[in-house]
């Protein structure tokens, strides 16, 4: 089995092993090996098959809530059936080490970090399962129906208080990020002694500024991603490997 375990690049180990305050910033690539599709990967990315303007904007919701609800119900079913991968588990174990203060700020709307046993400091793009009323804003106890393949239209549930349509708790294009989450992520990145950026294209703002905030304070930034990204240039070290292989090697 030895030959399938990734060798940790020396320069990465030199930064990661002594680090006591670690900030891990994750994107869709973190959950790719759990079978949750990314957004922008060639062929398999969601935006190769679906139009974000029709599904992930407040205008799309206003125009056609049934279409948006149907798509998120399918995505929620995928996430419910997915399991945390070895990368999620490795980060959770790292966080549990007594001499390490490790924070996680994720762009992912799934709950796979939590299901691996980790505590997430910030979900900067919200949570898929945090449903709320789109009219009065109250949190909703409703859930998504099981939908095992993309379907065209599904009626969203009604808010138990005002009757408005219940929406996913995610951040769509053009919407503000939850301020507390973004501020906590920014502070964690700035005050870390290592920022590890895992599985993001670094193309969506303002989340993509987080590694730069750290870099500007002299915090070393390490990228784990099989491919080049918008973060690569700002990274001090780059490890071209999948999260589910690199992270267990790093933490073992
Ligand atoms: C692996 C792997 C493996 C694969 N292991 N790695 C400045 C400049 C230009 C534009 C803007 C700007 N500021 C704001 C904007 C507009 C916009 C934006 O950024 N647009 C750009 C796309 C051009 N931003 C916004 O609209 C944001 N809001 C905002 O700015 O509000 C301002 C405001 C203020 C006050 C009042 C009102 C408004 C909101 C952005 C919301 C993003 N939402 C989404 C959907 C969430 C819900 C859902 O899940 O449906 O969030 S879009 C989508 O992209 C999702 C992700 O979180 C986000 C980032 O994607 P991520 O995670 O990087 O995934 P991918 O697919 O892009 O990359 C995967 C990576 O993994 C790749 O690099 C692979 O190589 C790698 N990988 N396998 C490790 N095994």
Instruction: Determine whether the annotation assigns residue 148 to a binding site.
Output: no
> Could you tell me if 99 and 224 lie in one domain?
yes
Residue 118 shares a structural domain with residue 48: no
236 and 162 share a domain? no
pTM: 0.97
Can 212 be counted among the known catalytic residues?
Answer: no
Structure tokens at 99: 């001499």
C-beta of 41 in contact with ligand 1 (< 6 A): yes
Contact 27, 107 (CB under 8 A): yes
Same domain assignment for residues 164 and 230 = no
Mean pLDDT, residues 69-73 taken together: 98
pLDDT number for residue 4: 53
Ligand 1 near 34 CB (within 6 A): no
Residue range 104-157, pLDDT digits in tens = 999 999 999 999 999 999 999 999 999 999 999 999 999 999 999 988 899 999
Identify the domain containing residue 230 by its residue range.
Answer: 1-36+84-125+176-252
Pairing of strands 101-106, 21-26: parallel
Cβ(32) to ligand 1 under 6 A? yes
Q: Please check whether residue 219 is in contact with residue 59, taking contact to mean a CB–CB distance below 8 angstroms.
A: no
177-220 residue pLDDT tens: 999 999 999 999 999 999 999 999 999 999 999 999 999 999 99
Q: How many domains does the chain have?
A: 2
- At residue 5, the pLDDT reads 61
User: Quick one: which atom of ligand 1 is closest to the CA of 202?
Assistant: 63
Q: Tell whether 240 and 212 lie within a shared domain.
A: yes
Q: 76 and 94: one domain?
A: no
**Do 134 and 247 lie in a common domain?**
no
The per-residue pLDDT for 152 is 86
Mean pLDDT of 218-234: 98
Atom from ligand 1 closest to the CA of residue 55: 50
ipTM of the prediction? 0.96
CATH number at residue 196: 3.40.50.1220
């Amino acid at each position: 089995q030895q030959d399938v375990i990734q060798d940790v690049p020396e320069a990465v180990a030199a930064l990661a092993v002594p680090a006591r305050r670690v900030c891990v910033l994750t994107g869709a690539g973190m959950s790719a090996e759990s079978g949750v599709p990314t957004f922008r990967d060639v062929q398999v990315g969601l935006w190769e098959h679906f139009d974000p303007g029709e599904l992930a904007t407040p205008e799309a919701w206003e125009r056609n809530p049934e279409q948006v609800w149907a798509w998120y119900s399918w995505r929620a079913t995928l996430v419910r059936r997915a399991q945390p991968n070895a990368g999620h588990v490795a980060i959770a174990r790292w966080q549990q080490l007594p001499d390490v203060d490790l924070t996680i700020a994720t762009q992912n709307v799934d709950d796979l970090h939590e299901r691996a046993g980790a505590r997430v400091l910030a979900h900067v793009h919200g949570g898929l399962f945090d449903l709320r009323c789109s009219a009065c804003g109250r949190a909703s106890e409703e859930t998504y129906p099981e939908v095992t393949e993309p379907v065209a239209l599904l009626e969203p549930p009604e808010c138990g208080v005002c009757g408005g349509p219940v929406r996913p708790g995610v951040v769509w294009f053009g919407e503000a990020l939850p301020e507390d989450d973004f501020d906590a992520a920014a502070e964690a990145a700035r005050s870390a002694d290592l920022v590890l950026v895992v599985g993001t294209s670094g193309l969506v703002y303002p989340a993509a500024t987080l590694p730069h905030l750290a870099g500007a304070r002299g915090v070393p930034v390490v990228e784990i991603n099989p491919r080049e990204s918008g973060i690569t240039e700002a990274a001090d070290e780059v490890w071209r490997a999948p999260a589910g292989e690199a992270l267990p090697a790093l933490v073992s």
